Amino acid sequence: MTTATPDPDTLTDSGLAPEGDGRLLIIACGALAREILDLRDRNGWDHMDLACLPAILHNTPDRIPDAVRSAFTRHHIRYDHIYLAYADCGTGGALDRLCEELGIEMIRGPHCYAFFDGIDRFAARDEMTAFYLTDFLVRQFDAFVWRPLGLDRHPELRDMYFGNYEKLVYLSQNEDPDLVARARTQADRLGLAFEHRPTGYGDLATTLDTWAG
């Protein structure tokens, strides 16, 4: 099964409904769709379907658990196994409690930055003054950062939001010189030093491999 990845705007605002009827469903954040579909196709996991929630939910994390519950309720009757490809993502443990209630597994960690970098490595770095971007967030920087913070209208607010940060760290999942250049430009826009840290798919790959059986 090979599926064309929807454009980033669709994954940001609309998500992605499952297109097949496999025995295993991954409910995921739209920000992870490219990576999950690539891993599925690369490994021949034809029994795996993907349902993505809108990535923009990250800007209102209190709404993520209800969206996950709704997706589970809508799809669970068709699947033998359902897994959740989210980290905590600012829900304050609510996703973990929901998974216990529903009897499903999720990816452990505070957010996708951590599991791309590797949970243990990320925790050991303890980078309190770093602002992180992934491939998806580089593509969707204006939709997730610049416009929601009002910096398109009031660039003078930049120091208020980012004055305590020292660097922008781009955790890249794929080798793409254009994305590196865009991330560097975004660091300049925020007045931050730039660091590029190639991570690949990190713990996302190992977790999906376990779930795929």
As for how many domains the chain has, the answer is 2
193-198 β-sheet, strand order: 130-133, 167-172, 193-198
Is there a single domain that holds both residue 107 and residue 151? no
What's the pTM?
0.92
Is there a single domain that holds both residue 14 and residue 85? yes
| Predicted confidence pLDDT, tens digits, the chain (213 residues) | 556 678 888 999 998 888 777 799 999 999 999 999 999 999 999 999 999 999 999 999 999 999 999 999 999 999 999 999 999 999 999 999 999 999 999 998 888 888 999 988 888 988 899 999 999 999 999 999 999 999 999 999 999 999 999 999 999 999 999 999 999 999 999 999 999 999 999 999 999 999 998
Is there a single domain that holds both residue 36 and residue 68? yes
Asked if residue 161 lies in contact with residue 131, where contact means CB atoms within 8 angstroms, the answer is no
Is there a single domain that holds both residue 34 and residue 106? yes
Question: Nearest-5° angle of CA 159, CA 57, CA 110?
Answer: 75
Is there a single domain that holds both residue 104 and residue 146? no
Determine the straight-line distance between the first and last CA of the chain, rounded to whole angstroms: 17
Alpha-carbon gap, residue 92 to 94, rounded angstroms: 6
Give residue 53's domain range.
8-111+203-212
Is there a single domain that holds both residue 83 and residue 95? yes
Is there a single domain that holds both residue 12 and residue 107? yes
Neighbours of 102 (CB within 10 A): 16
Task: Name residues whose C-beta falls within 8 Å of residue 107's C-beta, 6 or more positions apart in sequence.
Answer: 84, 85, 86, 87, 115, 203, 204, 207
Residue 125 in any domain: the answer is yes
Is there a single domain that holds both residue 19 and residue 97? yes
Is there a single domain that holds both residue 49 and residue 78? yes
What's at 27, amino acid-wise? I
Q: What is the pLDDT of residue 139?
A: 97
Is there a single domain that holds both residue 52 and residue 96? yes
Is there a single domain that holds both residue 118 and residue 100? no
Q: What is the pLDDT of residue 22?
A: 74
Residue 63 in any domain: the answer is yes
Q: What is the DSSP letter of 78?
A: G
Residue 1 in any domain: the answer is no
Is there a single domain that holds both residue 123 and residue 75? no
